Structure 1
Amino acid sequence: MTATPAPATRTLPVADMDSVRAHTRGLLRRHRRSLVTVVGLHAVAAMAALVAPRAIGLLVDEISGGRSLEVVNRLAFGIAAAVVVQTVVTWFARRASFVMGETVFAELREQFMGRVVELPLSTVERAGTGDLVSRTTNDVEALSHVIRFGIPSIFVGAVTTAITVVAAFLTGWMVALPILVGVPILWVSTRRYLRLAPDGYLRERATYAVLGGVVTESADGARTVDALGLGRRRRRRMDEALGDCYDAELYTLGLRMRWFPAVEFAFFAPVAVTLLWGGWLISRDLATAGTVTAVALYVQQMAGPLDELISWLDEIQVGATSLARVIGIADVPPDRSPSGEEPRDHRLEVEDVHYSYRAGRDVLRGVSLDLAPGERLAIVGPSGAGKSTLGRLMAGIDGPREGRVEVGGVRLVDLELAQLRGQVALVTQEHHVFVGTLEDNLRLARPEAPREQLLEALEAVDARTWAEELPEGLDTVVGSGGHRLTEPQAQQLALARLVLADPHTLVLDEATSLLDPRAARHLERSLAAVVEGRTVVAIAHRLMTAHDADRVCVVEDGLISEIGSHDELLRADGAYAALWRSWRDEPQPAAELTS
């Protein structure tokens, strides 16, 4: 009895098999002409392959009857010609198959990548990187293998098998009856496998995603793991993930181990039965030796394409599972519903906002803020208080569970993403340097910007000097495999992109955290000139940012406990005053203390 695989946790949607079949039918319809060409060429190749067994059967009869050598020579020439035709047509058929496979895969890959880059950031962050990386690597690779090689092989196997069976029955229907011997065995074992395999492979792919996430997290956080002595705990987590992968693979391996022997028996049993049955028919003068020979060769010839067809059926299960995960990305619901409204001004308002990552556990509770255009607001508070969450809501990354976050009277989640980024932009302490030139990285924010504007943006964030000193200046290739930027340089690059994007409201979530205090202070002063007249929301632990702000908002336990100017909050002697005194009592660099 086969155990049912344990369900695996899914972070991103996985399409059901009905959707997979519908998507596959749509692909084949769009490539109908290529499909007809491929099937036609394979059919011609399969018919050419039928000539040799039939000719050999006739040779047996001719030689048995003592016919002339001329007839034998003609048959031998016919066999040679058929082999040449089969070789040439097979080459063209396989070429057409591979071209169709590459075309179909390119279309799927473009659709997938187009959808991935449009995924809501909130969805990606909640799902984690493991599942998405697994889909863009393991699943796409498996799908590529099936489409490029599996589809052509399936066409070859199916067309060749069908034509060979027809030829065998036309040659001698009575002799060909043993072909049916393997059908019940093949039918029962394959149906059982197809019933159990999809869930098994879904679970297997899901465990790969979890393992990838664990490995990535452990590698990225290696210093933290080492500093906090979490090595043993991470090893246990790795062992658990590996154990789940092992169990999932053991289950699918068990399915194959029970299926393959039955399939092999179904292939070769008809050959033996055909020879025995044919011998009996010959002894009763119900068939000639040539007919039995031809049919036996047909039956034996069928084993190759059938074996290829069945073996690819296993790969098709993997491919179908991967396709379900790939097209499942399209089932991610949008995080916004554009209303088409235009904000009447640049005023940012937060009204009675509640937000939770888990049901029943709000991290923000009834938060309200009103920012006038051009105001600078600093959000401070202890770690875990909800500062970054509030910043994400004010940047439109997420929508609140209750309440409203609006710009100019329009909810941020009612703005199209491109329109939103022209209104509000978020820069965090996390950043990415894309593979390409430094200029390419800058143009992500404003593709049409002239080079001088790119240099001005770099200068605004104190990055122009080191950028021009790179080996090829803005044409220097950076990112993976290119010139390595330091962490502060990468962060300055992210800030320069922000300057180029030119939104009217900026949300800076620890945007200068990777710079030393002196450089961070200098950069913040440079940014102050750049963002003059714009609304700035700065989330920071360095309280000099709060000192320079128009107002300071103190967030504690998901609530705004204080709000006012730096001087007002110091006079109130509340939470902010305590934070300020604590921060000032810590040893500070001379430049910071004299600012």
Structure 2
Amino acid sequence: MTSATTTPADRADDERRPGGARPDTGEPSPARRDPYDRDVLPAPPGASRALLRELVGPHKVRAWCAAIMLLVQQAAVQAGPLIVAYAIDRAVPALRAHDRGPLIVTAVGYIGCALLGGWLQRTFIRSSAIVSQDVLLELRGRIFRQAQALGLDFHERYTSGRIIARATSDVEAIRELLTEGLQELLNVGLSVLYIAGVLIWLDWRLGLFSLATAVPLVFSVRRFRRRSKRVYTRRSAAMASVIVRFSETLGGIRPVQAFRRERANDEAFARLNSAHRAANGDAIVEMGRFTVSSWLIANTSVALVVLWGAYRVAAGSLELGVLAAFVLYLRRLYAPIDPLGMFLNSWQSAAASLEKIAGLLAQSPSVPEPAEPRALPERASGRPGRAVVFEGVRFAYRTGGEVLPRFDLAVPAGQTVAVVGATGAGKSTLAKLLARFYDPTSGRVTLDGVDLRELAVPELRRGVVMVTQEAFLFSGTVAENIALGDPDATPEQIEAAAKAIGAHDFIAGLPEGYDTDVRKRGGRISAGQRQLVAFARALLADPAVLILDEATSSLDVPGERAVQRAMHTVLRGRTAVVIAHRLSTVEIADRVLVMADGRVVEDGPPSELTRADGEFAGLHRAWRDSLV
């Protein structure tokens, strides 16, 4: 039972696309653009820094120990040129006077510093790797938990490809910074401090001159950071767009091939891929500019220091060993230019990624847990259902108009209500409000008098279960998929639920029975068999309220009959709301609601509505004629 026209309510309800995407390009419609259409979600100021502190906080002791080890390691490494200066100015003259002691001290000191520096470097890398991997482990876990906690409205608007990008490419960018770039930054920072102090201690005039010549390098770094930040933010967004297009195309590979969308998808993907290539090219150009300008500054600085230092050596105001130490230290000071550029690349990429992850983690669930949850009253003996009441409910999606202008409905415990109507009438919205995938804009939905917003989410999910048209199955065995209804169920209970639904025979006929892997999305079994497994899962969950959202609309006649027999079993005594497109499904209902434009226009037993001269009677006659 479908409508030939599409109304605004259609787009806002049954046929809403995530993010208000255009069907031809997948890009968001300008009229519906909102924060979820952007790759970077809004977050409070300083959210990324706060997130970093939270992640590193539990590892402060190990991080400080690693920092101390690196401090000592740099002292050992930077002692090398000083030992060389001592050898030139003291040990060699002493050797000419037949005194080998200073030279032996020099050799032992140089070798000892090298060994100590290498051991400390190894220990630091191991310790920092443990910290970084723990941080990444926690970060991935937070992203995954947040993705599951956020409401249905978020996932319908913020594509799964972007969430995948947060957990993969963005976490990988942070990993590169923590495992490779951060050590380089600490090494560079400590070496600059050590070298600056030693140069001034060796000869304060030449030391200050050397540091003054490096000032232009500081401005070069600042300019590179400012320009590259924009480039890497754009590159990260381009990469996320590529992942989104890739995942959505593969997720919808059947309609892509059925409607010959390969060429159009190739063209769309080529545009996104070209944008990513352009962003990468801009990053390479910025890196090239920084490297060339930095080495020009470095070589000019070393040349000036050597010229003045040589003049002073010739004048006798500076020792040759000190000048040699200056040259060695300056080479060490400027040697990290290329690694520094790579680190700044990693830094900007990781900063952009951390900002996106912080934005995702800052989103609040649209259906939050109540501060003080209430418990449902005990169900009466022999009364598995609960009373459902919609009181003055209004609801509007953020990207569309009002779907339910005002809705009042009372469903007694144990009653089965079928809801019919044209596409976009508000049927699925009613089901989503009852399952608390959304909260009403105003009014309330109650279960035995308790507002759904006052129930703890675990108790609500035990009490209200939805079986959808898709009947989604996870990769794993048939038994594991049925046991989702009750993870503590025994194999005997699982088999009993399957028998009660009428699924046992086909399951027993599978290659490995209940241990047969259904594979991705249950692709190993038919649509009707997947629905039977979903009903067995619902029966095992033993909910008080069951919602069936077009559970037979995609089935053939034999499959529909098998599922309807299962529906009789699973609905017995429970409160049920059945969203129906096929009027054959309505026959099992105690009561029928006909909806139009978010309102109930007819309400009554199916037999009475069939005899009346109303909209349902017309739909019923059309359905009977189609069977003939």
Contact 2:393 2:445 in 1 (8 A): yes
Contact 1:153 1:312 in 2 (8 A): yes
Shifted more, 545-554 versus 440-449: the winner is 440-449
Q: Could you say which residue in structure 2 is the equivalent of 1:15?
A: 43
Task: Give per-residue Cα distances to partners, 1:473-501, cap 9 Å, x unaligned.
Answer: 44445545999444444443333322222
> Of 369, 373, 383, which aligns to 2:409?
369
Q: Secondary structure at the match of 1:176?
A: helix
1:305 is displaced (CA, Å) by 4.2
Task: Give per-residue Cα distances to partners, 1:196-253, cap 9 Å, x unaligned.
Answer: 5445434433343334333333333344345556566545544554455455545555
> Of 476, 481, 504, which aligns to 1:441?
481
Counterparts of 1:500-579 in structure 2, within 5 Å, are 500-579=540-619
Matched positions, count: 582
Contact 1:379 1:537 in 2 (8 A): yes
Q: Supply the distance in 2 between the matched residues of 1:177 and 1:143 (Cα, whole angstroms).
A: 37
Counterparts of 1:486-505 in structure 2, within 5 Å, are 486-505=526-545
Task: Give per-residue Cα distances to partners, 1:417-447, cap 9 Å, x unaligned.
Answer: 1121122122212344334444443443322
Q: For residues 64 and 485 of structure 1, do their structure 2 counterparts lie closer, same or farther at Cα, with a shift above 3 Å needed?
A: farther
Q: Could you say which residue in structure 1 is the equivalent of 2:185?
A: 154
> Of 349, 373, 377, which aligns to 1:340?
373
Amino acid at match of 1:96: S
1:300 is displaced (CA, Å) by 1.1
The RMSD of aligned alpha carbons is: 3.1
Q: Could you say which residue in structure 2 is the equivalent of 1:426?
A: 466
Q: Could you say which residue in structure 2 is the equivalent of 1:168?
A: 199
Q: For residues 307 and 160 of structure 1, do their structure 2 counterparts lie closer, same or farther at Cα, with a shift above 3 Å needed?
A: farther
Q: Could you say which residue in structure 2 is the equivalent of 1:414?
A: 454
Contact 2:593 2:600 in 1 (8 A): yes
2:502 pairs with 1:462: yes
Q: Secondary structure at the match of 2:595?
A: strand
Shifted more, 70-79 versus 235-244: the winner is 235-244
Q: Secondary structure at the match of 2:467?
A: strand
1:19 is displaced (CA, Å) by 1.7
Q: For residues 324 and 251 of structure 1, do their structure 2 counterparts lie closer, same or farther at Cα, with a shift above 3 Å needed?
A: same
Q: Supply the distance in 2 between the matched residues of 1:531 and 1:452 (Cα, whole angstroms).
A: 21
> Of 308, 332, 351, which aligns to 1:320?
351
Q: Supply the distance in 2 between the matched residues of 1:418 and 1:224 (Cα, whole angstroms).
A: 36
2:426 pairs with 1:386: yes
Counterparts of 1:16-415 in structure 2, within 5 Å, are 18-61=46-89, 62-63=91-92, 66-68=96-98, 70=100, 71-181=102-212, 183-225=214-256, 227-228=258-259, 234-235=265-266, 237-242=268-273, 244-246=275-277, 248-249=279-280, 252-305=283-336, 307-337=338-368, 338=370, 339-344=372-377, 346-358=386-398, 361-415=401-455
Q: Supply the distance in 2 between the matched residues of 1:140 and 1:424 (Cα, whole angstroms).
A: 36
Structure 1: 5+ residue stretches without partners: 1-6, 589-595
Structure 2: 5+ residue stretches without partners: 1-34, 380-385
Q: For residues 215 and 179 of structure 1, do their structure 2 counterparts lie closer, same or farther at Cα, with a shift above 3 Å needed?
A: same
Q: Supply the distance in 1 between the matched residues of 2:37 and 2:258 (Cα, whole angstroms).
A: 30
Amino acid at match of 1:148: T
Shifted more, 453-462 versus 260-269: the winner is 260-269
Q: Secondary structure at the match of 1:117?
A: helix
Q: Supply the distance in 1 between the matched residues of 2:186 and 2:475 (Cα, whole angstroms).
A: 40
Contact 1:12 1:332 in 2 (8 A): no
Shifted more, 68-77 versus 47-56: the winner is 68-77
Task: Give per-residue Cα distances to partners, 1:58-97, cap 9 Å, x unaligned.
Answer: 3333446745472434423432232222222211121111
Q: Secondary structure at the match of 2:465?
A: strand
Task: Give per-residue Cα distances to partners, 1:285-305, cap 9 Å, x unaligned.
Answer: 221111111121122123344
Contact 1:105 1:147 in 2 (8 A): no
TM-score by length of 2: 0.84
TM-score by length of 1: 0.88
1:343 is displaced (CA, Å) by 4.1
Q: For residues 433 and 197 of structure 1, do their structure 2 counterparts lie closer, same or farther at Cα, with a shift above 3 Å needed?
A: farther
Q: For residues 229 and 109 of structure 1, do their structure 2 counterparts lie closer, same or farther at Cα, with a shift above 3 Å needed?
A: closer
Amino acid at match of 1:53: P
Task: Give per-residue Cα distances to partners, 1:431-475, cap 9 Å, x unaligned.
Answer: 443344444434433222222112222333333334344454444
Q: Secondary structure at the match of 1:380?
A: strand
1:507 is displaced (CA, Å) by 0.9
